[in-house]
Every structure is written in structure tokens, then in C-alpha cells.
Amino acid sequence: MIIIRSCLLWLLSVFAVASHAAPVATDHTEVEILAEVSAVVAGEPFWVAFRLEADSGWHTYWSNPGDSGLPSEINWQLPQGWQISDLYWPIPELISTPPFATHAYHGEVLLLAQVTPPASIDRAEVILQGQAAWLVCKQLCLRETAGLTLTLPVSESISYDPINRVRFDATRANWPQTDLQLAVTASSFEDELYLQIDGANQLTEPLHFFPYQGEQVEPAADQRLFTNQTGYQLAMTRSQFNQGSLRQISGVLVNPVGWNGSGQPAGLDINAEVVELTAAPNLASEIVATRNVQSQPSSSTGLNLGLALLMAFIGGAILNLMPCVFPILSIKVLSFIDMAQGNKGHVRRHGLLFALGILMSFWLLSGTMLFLQQAGEQIGWGFQLQSPGFVMGLSLLMLLLALNLFGLFEVGGTMMRLAGNADTGGGYWSSFNTGVLAAAVATPCTAPFMGVALGYALTQPGAVTMLIFTSVALGLAAPYLLLAEMPALLARLPKPGQWMITFRQLLGFPLLATAAWLVWVLGHQQGVDAVALLLLVMVALAMAGWLHGLQQRRGSRRSWIDLALIALLLSQVPLLQKITEPADQVANRVNQSGWEPFDQVALDGYLATGEPLFIDFTAAWCITCQVNKRIALHQPRLAEFFADQGIRTIRADWTRQDPQITAALARVGRNGVPTYLFYDPSGTPHLLPEVLTANIVIDRITVAQAGNQKP
């Protein structure tokens, strides 16, 4: 009997292995596609599962994650003619971390979907594929992705995988139920929502309602269960983001001990119209018991939305002083000086359009970034400067703006309207485009306070993320809005005069410096050959500007100049294409002695052996990063400190897109550079400020090491 039983178990394991591919293990999750069947039949629907199993203490999220988080998802790629349903979600857990709460799963969860094959299948086996993405959190949150594959044979008769069928049945038993003999109605009064439950057995534990959509119920607010004459009433707080009329509410109502006294949590599917009450309902005695919820430390590093918005605003305001932004915004100040003696309403409208340009650019950039991240791309803030084409185009634009400020040519105001030059008249379009340009050059910079705020933003729902980026944009625009809205400040500005011509020419030099910096960035991305080609294009562009200015100064058009201009510009097209061609990865861009290039495998090995590490997350296009290197990281006494303490130094160069570095940033709640990270011998990470001195680095590491010493 023992031999027979062993053989049966072996056969079951063979069938189980044959029905799915090996799981994919990421940093903190194991994922795979499972099938309930071991063979499929044409036209016969069957069930598959997107399985996630988070490491101990980590969690993934439900379809509505609550105050923060992202739902797990899988983008299916099926053969032509095959169809698949949406995912079916088991009831979630409530993770309460006041003042926030999330809806999540610990350990293993199976998200089922029903597959319908076509009426005929002309192959011996079928391959189902999916690109999966999910957020897994503990103290930190990490966005992980994986490509998953499931291969199944095609048969004349359907057969089931015996092990998986048990697992699928257990998952279906944990779905919200719809066939219970309960009557549930919904009502609302002011900021309270009520669910009336009639026909239930005696309830001894508080219920919890998980809405399918966000912005209906406040996730972290208490939900109180009362008895009344006909049954029970659950009182909830309406979401702070939805204080208007709520006509429909849907979700799952969870009884922690089961609706039939099973002792296991069970959910009831709710979809009810909301009746607006004219007075608060008469609530009787409240059922008070220990909630069946799981609490754990917040995954957002203790930051709340209000503080994140404030830090984002302050960081945005500080961006005005950054070297990458100041040259552009100084031109806007020049235009304000020119308008100061005119109509104050005219100045106000210019200030508002300038702010609108910044806002719309930030919305576009952050929305694009979120979309690409949802699509599985590992990118972060300032991602556009990881594109050599964007860097090249921006450097050429800076050159043209500088040449125009020098007076080499005029283009009927068109070019300088891109930068809001005072001499081009009062067109509102100029102010809007100044804001666009300011946002384009501001995003590579991460000012103090911004790093924490942006890291928090990218672990939140999309609406909260966009709100925080809006706060950064408003901070960037705030000084100019203040100047435009306060005539008394404008009156203190000097009057226009000959000095403005000199000042305008002076402003051309910071723009040239910005162009030179962008050329240096391109060199880190594409190598020295690309730099040489771009410099040739710049010379040709300067000559084209000179020819255009010559045409203007003559006062009449010359056909030979037009032809020369066209030929000169067309000759640059092959060079521009050559500059942006994919370049081989520049080997070891770390030129400073003692700094190792970032490698996740090597990093994991160092942490496993308890070696202290200091990591510099940097990029050539990050001005703050370069300043910190000069005044702190490359100071001899800091190098001596690292050597004396046995601290290994690693440089994570994010100049070009690198998914490993993006993932490493996400693990510590950051999404931009500069980021500075110290790992003590226990492997505990310690974040340092965005702006450094050698003393700050030494002091912070000394404190971290002292805190790690055991008595």
C-alpha cells in the first residue's frame, strides 16, 4: 500500500508540473500562472490563476488598494480567438496604519480568470502568456514585474489537475457571495453612509465594508455596527474626496467569523442604490468587539498627505535657485521688468499663464511617467533626460536662445517667445512657453524636501501622485505668481532702459553654460563621438542664425541666403540621426578612484557578508548631484573616513535608463536623484539628505553605526 500511495503521489506531482511553468521569483514575491485543468478542449471554458506569494511580512494589494498601493494586474497575450475574463478577487485584509488604511493580501493569493477557447483548435498545445505587474510592500514598497507563461496540451476531453483544483476551489470559497438570504440597503446623511442588513443571524463581531471603487468610503475611518428594530446597521464615513451626491455603492461586506458561523471570514457582494436621508437614523446599541484586522507599520515611511504636499511645494520653490532652472527663469524676470510700468491686469495674466505652462508640463510628464510605469517600464522622475534625443534637442534650443539674446538674429519673436523675452512684445503665448521650458529643465533637479515627497507620491494612487506633483509645480511658479499678483512689488522693479539690452546679452551666457552642460550629459550617454558631432551641429546652427540675421539686417530677402540656410540645415539631418543612434554601454563610467559601478548581484553579496556600503545614486544631468560630488563626496577627508571605517563606496549612474537602479531606488522609497544611501553592517538602510557636505555624511554615518552597535 505504501508503494502504491507513493506512486500515486508521484503521478499527481507529474501532472501538476506538466500543467504550469516554473514560478518566477523576484526580490520579495513568487509569481506564476496556474491552470485548473491539465488539458484543454476546444470551446470548453476553464479557469487559470495569476498566483502571487509575498515574502513573510510583505503584502500585495486588492483591486481597490485603499489609501495607498496599487492593484496587481496582468496583461494577457492569448492566441487569436481565445478570450479571458477579468480577474476575480478574494476578500482582502484590512491593514490599519492610522491615519491610513489599505486593502491587501499577505502570503499567497490566487486571482482567477476564466478562459474560453475557440470552437476549434488546430494545434497540439496552447501557450498562454501574460505580463504581470504588482506592488509589494513592507516598510518599503517595490513595484515588480514579470513575464509569465503557461503551456497546456489540447485534448478531446477535458481533464483536471487534482492539486490545483483543490486550490482553485479554496479560492472560490473566499470570493464574495451573492446567494445569501440577506437584504442590504444603503442610505446617506451628511458625511455618513449606512448599510442596513436584514435577515442575518446574530452578529457578534463588527463587520467591515470594502468598496470596489475608491473615493466612496474613508478607508481608515472606524466602521461601527449597531442593532436596530429590523436588523443591523453599519455606519461608515464618506470619503473626503467625494462629498457630493453618491447614488450607488458597491463592494464586499466582510463578516470576520462567517455569515453562517463558520469561524472563517466571509464576504457578501453589495450593490445598492444610496438613499439620501433628511435626518440621521436612530441607532441603537453598538456591537463592540475586537476587530479582525491586521496592523503593521506604514509602507510610506510615516509621511502623510498634508506633509508630503508641503514638502513638495517647498522643494518646487527651491528649484528656482537651481543652476539648471535659473537661466530660463531670469528671462521671465526681465519680461516682468519690461511690463512693470504697464497694465497690472496684463502682468497678472502673464503670471497666470506662466504658472499654467509649468502645471501642464508637470501633469504631462508625471502622467506619462505613471503610464509607462504601469506598462512595466522601470523609469523615474527626470526620465526624459535619459533620452539622448531629448538632451540633444534641449541643448540646441539653449544655443538658439542664447544667440538670440546676443542679438545675432531675430525671428519675428518666435524663438524668444519660447523663453518669454521682453523685446518680443506682450504675447501671452510667450509666458505659457516660458513655463513649459522651465518645467522641462527643472525636472532633472531634485531639491531638498522633494526626494521624500516624490518617493511618497509614487507609492500612492494616481490621483494622489498627480496632486503631489501639482504641489511641486505650484512651488516652482509661486515666486512669479506672487510678483504678478502684488503691484507693490512690481513698482519696486527698476524702470526699462538701455541697461536691459546689456542685461539681455548677459543672460545669454547662462544659457550657453546650460547648453554646455547638456553636451556633457550627452557625452556620458553616447560617448565622445556623439559630443563631437553635436558640436559640429551647433557650429552649423550658429552659422544658420548668422545668415538669418544677415538677411534681416539687409532689410530685403536674398534668395542665395535662403538656399544656403536650407542646405545648411538639411546637411545636419544625418548628423542628428547619428548622434541619437543606440550607443554601446560606456564601460565603467565611474572615473573616480575607489567608487565601484552599481551591480545588484554584487550588492546583495556585500550585504550578505555584513559589509557597510555607501551608495551614490547620481546622473550626469543632475546638477545637484554634481555639486554634491565637488563639495562633499570627492573631498579627501571623506575618502579617508570611508577607508578608515571599511565602507565600500558604490556609484549608481542613472544617466541612462537602468531598470536595476530604478528598482533599487524604489526599494528605499525614492524615484529620483540625488539619493544617498548608507547600509550599516546589519544591512539596515539609512537615507541621507539630498544636499550634502562632508560633515553631514560623516555625522550621519557615525550616528547610524553607533545605533547599530549592540550593548
What is the structure's pLDDT at 642?
92
- Residues 385, 621 contacting (CB under 8 angstroms): yes
Rounded CA gap, 246 and 418, in Å? 45
| Grid coordinates belonging to 183 | 437584504
| pLDDT grade for 149, boundaries at 50, 70 and 90 | very high
Whether the per-residue pLDDT at 503 is higher than 60: the answer is yes
**Lowest model confidence (mean pLDDT) among 88-102, 171-185, 361-375, 538-552:** 361-375
What is the structure's pLDDT at 488?
64
What is the structure's pLDDT at 707?
62
| Grid coordinates belonging to 34 | 496556474
What does the mean pLDDT of the chain come to?
A: 75
What is the structure's pLDDT at 467?
83
> How far, CA to CA in Å, does 277 sit from each of 191, 270, 581?
11, 20, 65
Neighbours of 138 (CB within 10 A): 16
Strand partners, 150: 128
What is the structure's pLDDT at 5?
42
What is the structure's pLDDT at 378?
47
What is the structure's pLDDT at 385?
58
Q: What is the pLDDT of residues 237-281, one digit of tens each?
A: 888 766 667 788 899 999 888 877 666 788 889 888 888 887 777
The residue that leads in pLDDT, 711 or 29, is 29
Rounded CA gap, 396 and 525, in Å? 17
Beta strands in 11-118 (DSSP E): 24-25, 29-35, 37-39, 46-54, 59-66, 73-77, 83-84, 93-97, 100-106, 108-116
**Lowest model confidence (mean pLDDT) among 25-29, 319-323, 462-466, 487-491:** 487-491
Neighbours of 147 (CB within 10 A): 12
**Homologous superfamily of 15-172:** Immunoglobulins (2.60.40.10)
Give the residue from 495, 541, 490 showing the smallest Cα distance to 515. Answer: 541
Please give the helix or strand (H or E) that residue 248 lies within, else none: strand 248-255
Q: Report the pLDDT averaged over residues 231-238.
A: 86
Q: Report the pLDDT averaged over residues 398-410.
A: 75
> Taking the domains of the chain in order of start, what are their residue ranges?
15-172, 183-287, 305-579, 595-708
Please give the helix or strand (H or E) that residue 436 lies within, else none: helix 428-442
DSSP 119: S
The residue that leads in pLDDT, 52 or 653, is 52
Q: Following CA atoms 346, 348, 350, 352 in sequence, which dihedral angle do they give, to the nearest 10 degrees?
A: -150
Measured in whole angstroms, the distance separating CA 666 from the mean position of its chain's CA atoms is 9
The residue that leads in pLDDT, 299 or 468, is 468
The answer regarding whether domain 595-708 maps to CATH 3.40.640.10 reads no
Strand partners, 194: 187, 235
The residue that leads in pLDDT, 203 or 555, is 203
The residue that leads in pLDDT, 663 or 298, is 663
- Residues 63, 128 contacting (CB under 8 angstroms): no
What is the structure's pLDDT at 17?
39
User: Which residue reads 555639486 in cell numbers?
Assistant: 627
What is the structure's pLDDT at 16?
40
The residue that leads in pLDDT, 81 or 379, is 81
What type of residue is 605? G
Whether the per-residue pLDDT at 338 is higher than 70: the answer is no
| pLDDT grade for 136, boundaries at 50, 70 and 90 | confident
- Residues 102, 95 contacting (CB under 8 angstroms): yes
Rounded CA gap, 576 and 540, in Å? 12
What type of residue is 553? R
Q: Report the pLDDT averaged over residues 428-444.
A: 69
Rounded CA gap, 315 and 324, in Å? 14
Q: Report the pLDDT averaged over residues 570-583.
A: 63
Whether the per-residue pLDDT at 303 is higher than 80: the answer is no
Q: Do domains 183-287 and 595-708 have the same CATH topology?
A: no
What type of residue is 684? T
What is the structure's pLDDT at 130?
92
What is the structure's pLDDT at 290?
39
- Strand 648-653 and strand 595-597: the pairing is parallel
Q: What is the pLDDT of residues 447-472, one digit of tens each?
A: 555 555 665 665 566 677 788 888 88
The dotted CATH code for 183-287 is 2.60.40
Q: What is the pLDDT of residues 614-672, one digit of tens each?
A: 999 987 767 677 778 878 888 888 988 998 899 999 999 877 767 788 878 877 777 67
Give the residue from 357, 361, 358, 354 showing the smallest Cα distance to 481. Answer: 354
Give the residue from 231, 441, 467, 445 showing the smallest Cα distance to 367. Answer: 467
- Residues 203, 255 contacting (CB under 8 angstroms): yes
Rounded CA gap, 216 and 79, in Å? 38
Rounded CA gap, 29 and 136, in Å? 7
What is the structure's pLDDT at 109?
93
Rounded CA gap, 24 and 34, in Å? 12
**Lowest model confidence (mean pLDDT) among 86-100, 162-176, 339-353, 458-472:** 339-353
Whether the per-residue pLDDT at 592 is higher than 60: the answer is no
The residue that leads in pLDDT, 267 or 111, is 111
| Grid coordinates belonging to 358 | 509649468
| pLDDT grade for 425, boundaries at 50, 70 and 90 | very low
Strand partners, 649: 595, 614
pTM passes above 0.95:
no
CA angle in degrees (0–180, nearest 5) for 61-66-72 = 25
Whether the per-residue pLDDT at 377 is higher than 70: the answer is no
